[in-house]
């Protein structure tokens, strides 16, 4: 009988949408398999803050206090990936969890493979769908930067999965079943020796929404002609509450930072809305954004490959169109 | 110091992917295979350390014979020794790759092991962490900055919206991200020399896959989009469509 554990990530003691997506999917999976599921959170959140997960289907929520955990090591430590992987694995093994879900965030992608080895589990990272047939689980994973999708079957009962953010549905429920269970840190066989990698500082670009997390992205390419014109992208993004993205060409030219690069050697994104401005649509760029739910292209070249994947578009001059488009959005938002 | 770089051979990023006859993998006809782009940063990091403080350097790959091309590219960039762990087929999963690499690395005992953050075929970002955990070594993946002071390591790791600063110490595994360095272009001399440089072959020690690709498919074909041809005059119509038809705003 399978038993599901959803590791629910909090950042700065807050849950991101990907956390709710993971809880909801764990709930759906437990219903499909006819088995139990629990959530595990390692943070400094209060019981009230944790109970929010109940709105998305969480029942039992196990909690490890992060400060208590870090005190096993002491010193300047925000958190330790190695200690967290050990803690999650110990908890899973002690309690017979066989299927462990993580969000496929930077954190989840770092911890889940370590947990898979420590729990002797199969690992499928960055999945976009879970299928259940009888008691068997298969999953879908994008491969070759999303140019193809692999259907993957698992050959062992123990499985670790990381879920691609912004793909699974966070489903709000009316139920009120959330119960918080505090885990005694001494029960997990953790010692200072498990803290082999330590995060001492987290530096975030203030106020800037990351393309990997945004539900709307406005991206600029070489058609923007120079870094001085990207204010047009930024203004549209601001009105939409979107992140700003960039093609590889403009990042390599030094016009935009690498953190904004969307594409095969940049970030793979699947937002609800992707607006590509002055981007021709090279294969590698498309690989990074083609699974966006709605793609809009603005380009003066009617033969630009981007129009092959666009749901909507305007053929025309970005410099004329962007300011007017920004005004039009302002009117309706 | 002993440094190992784990490298893999992948289809070039310009590949227009087609599904092969088995229905489980891509059609390799006409595909150009290259050293995984992220591995170039890993190789460069190793070579720079060799140049700075001296080190014995190894490129290690798990795969069929064609994976030797990845090792040769590492030679061109300045890696001295190479090991191919020979797989009899292309049918291996992440666990099998990690286990084979770990077994060789456990014998070799490098002080530092570099990987590219992910290979652009499977896009797992998992192998560096799996190998590290199998070897009970610390690891940091997606590293954009690396500072080494004797055996102490300070790394910057890219996360959503910013970076983490991480401390660890050798022996350790580092997964490199674009931006950590500028991989060098090999010169003609090193390209010629790499052609005849020997590569040690070892037999695979493990072959039990935990996961299996049962089918592979192209993304669903997209219907034709609504492309407006009125230039600026179409802006209002576009907003209306996004609001009323796509219901995206």
Q: Which residues are paired to A161 by β-bridges?
A: A101, A124
Q: How confident is the model at residue A212 (pLDDT cuts 50, 70, 90)?
A: confident
Q: Which of A117, A291, A293 sits opposite B134 (nearest CB)?
A: A117
All residues of chain A having their beta carbon less than 8 Å from the beta carbon of residue B217 are 148-149, 151
Q: How confident is the model at residue B14 (pLDDT cuts 50, 70, 90)?
A: confident
Q: How confident is the model at residue A208 (pLDDT cuts 50, 70, 90)?
A: confident
Q: What pLDDT, on a 0 to 100 scale, did the predictor assign at position A176?
A: 78
How buried is residue A184: exposed, middle or buried, by Cβ count under 10 Å (0-12/13-18/19+)?
Answer: exposed
Q: What pLDDT, on a 0 to 100 scale, did the predictor assign at position A323?
A: 97
Q: Which of B94, B138, B225 sits opposite A197 (nearest CB)?
A: B138
Provide mean pLDDT across the span B188-214.
Answer: 95
- Flag whether residue B221 sits within 8 Å of chain A, measured between CB atoms: no
Q: What pLDDT, on a 0 to 100 scale, did the predictor assign at position A291?
A: 84
Q: Are strands B162-169 and B152-159 parallel, antiparallel or unpaired?
A: antiparallel
Question: How far, CA to CA in Å, does A276 sit from each of A48, A171, A281, A318?
Answer: 41, 30, 9, 10
**CB pair distance less than 8 Å for B15 and A155:** no
Q: What pLDDT, on a 0 to 100 scale, did the predictor assign at position A40?
A: 98
**CB pair distance less than 8 Å for A312 and B228:** yes
Provide mean pLDDT across the span A84-113.
Answer: 98
- Helices and strands (DSSP H and E) totals, chain A: 10, 18
Q: Is B51 helix (H, G, I), strand (E, B) or coil?
A: helix
Residue A20 to chain B, least CA–CA distance (Å)? 17
Q: Which residues are paired to B212 by β-bridges?
A: A153
Residue A85 to chain B, least CA–CA distance (Å)? 10
Provide mean pLDDT across the span B235-245.
Answer: 95
Q: What pLDDT, on a 0 to 100 scale, did the predictor assign at position A294?
A: 96
Say if CB B67 and CB B8 are below 8 A apart: yes
Q: What pLDDT, on a 0 to 100 scale, did the predictor assign at position A127?
A: 97
Please, what is the average pLDDT of chain A?
95
Q: What pLDDT, on a 0 to 100 scale, did the predictor assign at position B161?
A: 85
Candidates A14, A15, A81, partner chain B, best to mutate (most B CBs within 10 A)? A81
Provide mean pLDDT across the span B11-33.
Answer: 95
CATH 2.60.40.10 fits A216-332, yes or no: no
Q: Of residues A333 and A20, which shows the higher confidence score?
A: A20
Say if CB A321 and CB B232 are below 8 A apart: yes
Q: Which of A106, A152, A310 sits opposite B211 (nearest CB)?
A: A152
Domain extent listing, chain B: 2-203
Chain centroid offset of residue B134 CA: 19
Q: Which residues are paired to B228 by β-bridges?
A: A314
Greatest extent of chain B over all pairs of C-alpha atoms, in Å: 68
Q: How confident is the model at residue B221 (pLDDT cuts 50, 70, 90)?
A: confident
Nearest by Cα to A214 from A260, A254, A169, A248 = A260
- Interval A128-158: pLDDT, tens: 999 999 889 999 999 998 899 999 999 899 9
- Flag whether residue B66 sits within 8 Å of chain A, measured between CB atoms: no
Provide mean pLDDT across the span A300-317.
Answer: 95
Q: Is B218 helix (H, G, I), strand (E, B) or coil?
A: coil
pLDDT of A173 over the 80 cut: yes
Q: What pLDDT, on a 0 to 100 scale, did the predictor assign at position A119?
A: 98
Dihedral (Cα; A278, A282, A285, A286), 10-degree rounding: 100
Give the nearest chain B residue to A164 (CA atoms): B124
Q: Which of A289-298, B54-63, B134-143 has the lowest mean pLDDT?
A: A289-298
Structure tokens at B249: 């705003």
* CATH 3.40.50.620, chain A: domain bounds: 4-194
Q: What pLDDT, on a 0 to 100 scale, did the predictor assign at position A123?
A: 98
pLDDT of A207 over the 80 cut: no
Query: Kind and range of the H or E element at A42?
Result: strand A37-43
Provide mean pLDDT across the span B179-187.
Answer: 95
Q: What pLDDT, on a 0 to 100 scale, did the predictor assign at position A135?
A: 86
pLDDT of B37 over the 80 cut: yes
Residues B80 and A253: their CA atoms lie apart, in Å, by 33
Q: Predicted ipTM?
A: 0.95
**CB pair distance less than 8 Å for A210 and B161:** yes
- Flag whether residue B227 sits within 8 Å of chain A, measured between CB atoms: yes
- Flag whether residue B126 sits within 8 Å of chain A, measured between CB atoms: yes
**CB pair distance less than 8 Å for A125 and B161:** no
Q: CATH number of the domain at B2-203, please? A: 3.40.50.620
pLDDT of B124 over the 80 cut: yes
Residue A145 to chain B, least CA–CA distance (Å)? 7
Residues A177 and A199: their CA atoms lie apart, in Å, by 34
Q: How confident is the model at residue A209 (pLDDT cuts 50, 70, 90)?
A: confident
Residue A177 to chain B, least CA–CA distance (Å)? 32
- The contacts of residue B21 (CB under 8 Å, 6+ apart) are B27
Q: What pLDDT, on a 0 to 100 scale, did the predictor assign at position B58?
A: 98
- The contacts of residue B71 (CB under 8 Å, 6+ apart) are B7, B59, B60, B61, B79, B82, B83, B84, B199
- Interval B40-91: pLDDT, tens: 999 999 999 999 999 999 999 999 999 999 999 999 999 999 999 999 999 9
Provide mean pLDDT across the span B124-147.
Answer: 98
In this structure, which topology does domain A4-194 adopt according to CATH? Rossmann fold (3.40.50)
Give the nearest chain B residue to A126 (CA atoms): B124
**CB pair distance less than 8 Å for B231 and A205:** no
Provide mean pLDDT across the span A159-185.
Answer: 93
**CB pair distance less than 8 Å for B214 and A151:** yes
Among residues of chain B, what percentage have pLDDT more than 90? 94
Q: What pLDDT, on a 0 to 100 scale, did the predictor assign at position A270?
A: 87
* CATH 3.40.50.1220, chain A: domain bounds: 216-332
All residues of chain B having their beta carbon less than 8 Å from the beta carbon of residue A309 are 222, 225
pLDDT of A206 over the 90 cut: no
- Interval A60-92: pLDDT, tens: 999 999 999 999 999 999 999 999 999 999 999
Residue B195 to chain A, least CA–CA distance (Å)? 28
All residues of chain B having their beta carbon less than 8 Å from the beta carbon of residue A310 are 225, 227
**CB pair distance less than 8 Å for B162 and A212:** no
């Amino acid at each position: 009988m399978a038993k599901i554990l959803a590791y629910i990530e909090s950042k700065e003691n807050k849950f991101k949408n990907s956390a709710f997506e993971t809880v909801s999917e764990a709930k759906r999976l437990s219903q499909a398999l006819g088995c139990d599921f629990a959530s595990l959170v390692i943070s400094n959140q209060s019981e009230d803050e944790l109970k929010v997960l109940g709105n998305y289907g969480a029942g039992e929520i196990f909690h490890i206090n992060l400060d208590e955990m870090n005190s096993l090591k002491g010193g300047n430590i925000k958190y330790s990936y190695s200690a967290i992987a050990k803690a999650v694995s110990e908890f899973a093994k002690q309690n017979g969890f066989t299927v462990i879900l993580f969000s496929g965030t930077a954190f989840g992608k770092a911890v889940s493979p370590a947990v898979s080895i420590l729990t002797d589990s199969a690992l499928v990272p960055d999945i976009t769908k879970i299928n259940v047939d009888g008691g068997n689980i298969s999953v879908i994973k994008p491969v070759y930067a999303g140019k193809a999708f692999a259907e993957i079957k698992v050959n062992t009962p123990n499985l670790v999965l990381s879920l691609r953010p912004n793909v699974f549905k966070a489903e709000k429920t009316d139920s009120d079943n959330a119960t918080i269970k505090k885990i005694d840190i001494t029960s997990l066989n953790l010692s200072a020796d498990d803290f082999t990698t330590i995060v001492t500082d987290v530096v975030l670009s203030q106020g800037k929404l990351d393309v990997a997390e945004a539900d709307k992205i406005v991206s600029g390419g070489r058609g923007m002609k120079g870094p001085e014109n990207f204010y047009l992208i930024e203004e549209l993004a601001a009105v939409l509450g979107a992140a700003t993205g960039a093609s590889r060409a403009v990042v390599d030219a030094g016009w935009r930072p690498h953190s904004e690069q969307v594409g095969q050697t940049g970030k793979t994104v699947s937002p609800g809305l992707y607006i590509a401005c002055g981007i021709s649509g090279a294969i590698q760029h498309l690989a990074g954004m083609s699974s966006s739910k709605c793609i809009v292209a603005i380009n003066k070249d009617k033969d630009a490959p981007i129009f092959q994947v666009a749901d909507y578009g305007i053929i025309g001059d970005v410099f004329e169109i962007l300011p007017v488009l920004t005004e039009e959005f302002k009117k309706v938002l | 110091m002993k440094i190992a770089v784990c490298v893999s051979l992948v289809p070039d990023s310009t590949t227009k992917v087609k599904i092969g006859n088995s229905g489980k993998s891509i059609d390799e006809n006409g595909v150009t295979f290259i050293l995984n782009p992220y591995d170039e940063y890993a190789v460069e990091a190793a070579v720079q350390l060799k140049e700075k403080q001296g080190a014995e350097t190894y490129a290690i790959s798990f795969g069929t014979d064609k994976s030797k091309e990845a090792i040769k590219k590492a030679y061109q960039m300045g890696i001295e020794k190479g090991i191919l762990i020979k797989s009899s087929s292309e049918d291996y999963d992440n666990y099998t790759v990690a286990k084979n690499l770990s077994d060789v690395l456990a014998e070799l005992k490098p002080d530092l092991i570099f990987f590219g953050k992910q290979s652009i075929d499977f896009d797992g970002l998992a192998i560096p962490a799996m190998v590290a955990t199998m070897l009970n070594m610390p690891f940091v993946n997606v590293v954009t900055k690396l500072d080494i002071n004797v055996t102490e390591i300070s790394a910057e790791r890219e996360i959503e919206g910013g970076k983490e600063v991480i401390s660890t110490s050798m022996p350790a595994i580092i997964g490199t991200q674009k931006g950590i360095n500028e991989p060098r272009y090999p010169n003609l001399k090193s390209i010629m020399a790499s052609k005849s440089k020997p590569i040690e072959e070892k037999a695979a020690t493990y072959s039990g896959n935990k996961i299996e690709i049962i089918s592979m498919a192209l993304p669903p074909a997209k219907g034709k989009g609504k492309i407006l041809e009125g230039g600026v005059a179409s802006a209002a119509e576009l907003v209306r469509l996004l609001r009323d038809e796509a219901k995206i705003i």
